[in-house]
Amino acid sequence: MIISLLTDYGHEDEFVGVCHAVMRDIAPDVPIVDLTHGITRYGVRQGAIVLRNALPYVPTGVHVAIVDPQVGTERRGVALRTGDGRALVGPDNGLLSLAWETCGGVVEAVDISRSPHRLEPVSATFHGRDIFAPVAARLAAGAELAEAGQHLDPDELQVLALPHAEVREGEVVAHVLLVDRFGNASLDIGHADLAGSGLTLGKPVEIEVRAKGGGSGGGPPDAGERFIATFAQTFADVRPGDVILYEDAYRMLAVAVNRGDAGAALRLSPDARVVLRPR
């Protein structure tokens, strides 16, 4: 048994520490793994993707995720069981949905907004401390999911929609999902989905970067800035400073600059549209 924790709380304040303290009080011997607390403030989609990417490497346990712009509203807090036996705990705003899709779906769910495990009085703004941490710790200590809240039809849970990359002949239109600390930008397409695009490992690729949302709808797409990259296996295949298209550690295509910062150099930010063409 393990508890994992992913939030947008950052490390400046005591939010993470207080959640740890609450969990330690209830489940003193369960290891807690901090997946990250560096999700962009209110970055529900970023949190959902990072959780989905990380979970295959995390032992089965109770997995808490908190990115919660609607805290204090009527949005539900939920705890649920996935098909592969994990428990997920967090706000019902789509944050957990990409994870459960890759963990066998939802087999049981409860609304924990008024959980018997919550700390009273529940504050309007810190449900991590008052609801999510104590519920997760009780589950990790052996409590039944059904006792943690009110039964909820899994079909009522919020699901997150991601953009979809399009593969055409001679062109792939993808979107930036994440940009990491090193400036490497992950796209919403995997190597396996490139068939028919004409993109070939070892060959040059033209990367056109369009602003977030630019050129959508029925009109002609806005032209973006263009860069020449190499579609390669590792950074070592190109010179320092060169742009590389590669399969990243979560098996998604990504754009990087060898020893540089692609996010800054190519102005890649989440939701930017990236058109890839063989050269």
Q: Which positions lie near a copy of itself, rule CB under 8 A? A: 2, 4, 6, 9-14, 16-18, 20-22, 24-25, 28, 31, 33-38, 41-42, 50, 53-54, 57-59, 69-74, 123-126, 129-130, 180-182, 184, 233-236, 246-249, 259
Q: Pick the closer one to a copy of itself by CB: 123 or 216.
A: 123
Query: Cβ 136 to a copy of itself, closest distance in Å?
Result: 15
Query: Cβ 86 to a copy of itself, closest distance in Å?
Result: 13
Query: Cβ 133 to a copy of itself, closest distance in Å?
Result: 9
What is the Cα–Cα distance from 24 to 155, expressed in whole angstroms?
33
Q: Pick the closer one to a copy of itself by CB: 39 or 274.
A: 39
Q: Pick the closer one to a copy of itself by CB: 193 or 247.
A: 247
User: CA angle, 272 as apex, 99 and 53 as ends, to 5°?
Assistant: 20
Q: Pick the closer one to a copy of itself by CB: 121 or 218.
A: 121
Contact present, 75 and 135 (Cβ < 8 Å): no
CA–chain centroid gap for 205, Å, is 27
Q: Pick the closer one to a copy of itself by CB: 61 or 198.
A: 61
> Strands across the sheet with 32-36, in order?
32-36, 3-7, 62-66, 87-91, 77-82, 106-111, 150-151
Question: DSSP states of 153-217 as a string?
Answer: -GGGS--PPPP--EEETTEEEEEEEEE-TT--EEEEEEGGGGTTS---TTSEEEEEEE-TTTT-S
Q: Pick the closer one to a copy of itself by CB: 24 or 277.
A: 24
Query: Cβ 242 to a copy of itself, closest distance in Å?
Result: 13
Dihedrals φ, ψ of 58, to 5°? -105, 130
Q: Pick the closer one to a copy of itself by CB: 31 or 214.
A: 31
Structure tokens at 157: 């849970």
What is the Cα–Cα distance from 195 to 210, expressed in whole angstroms?
23
What is the Cα–Cα distance from 82 to 217, expressed in whole angstroms?
37
Query: Cβ 132 to a copy of itself, closest distance in Å?
Result: 13
Query: Cβ 193 to a copy of itself, closest distance in Å?
Result: 17
Query: Cβ 155 to a copy of itself, closest distance in Å?
Result: 25
For residue 239, the one-letter residue type is R
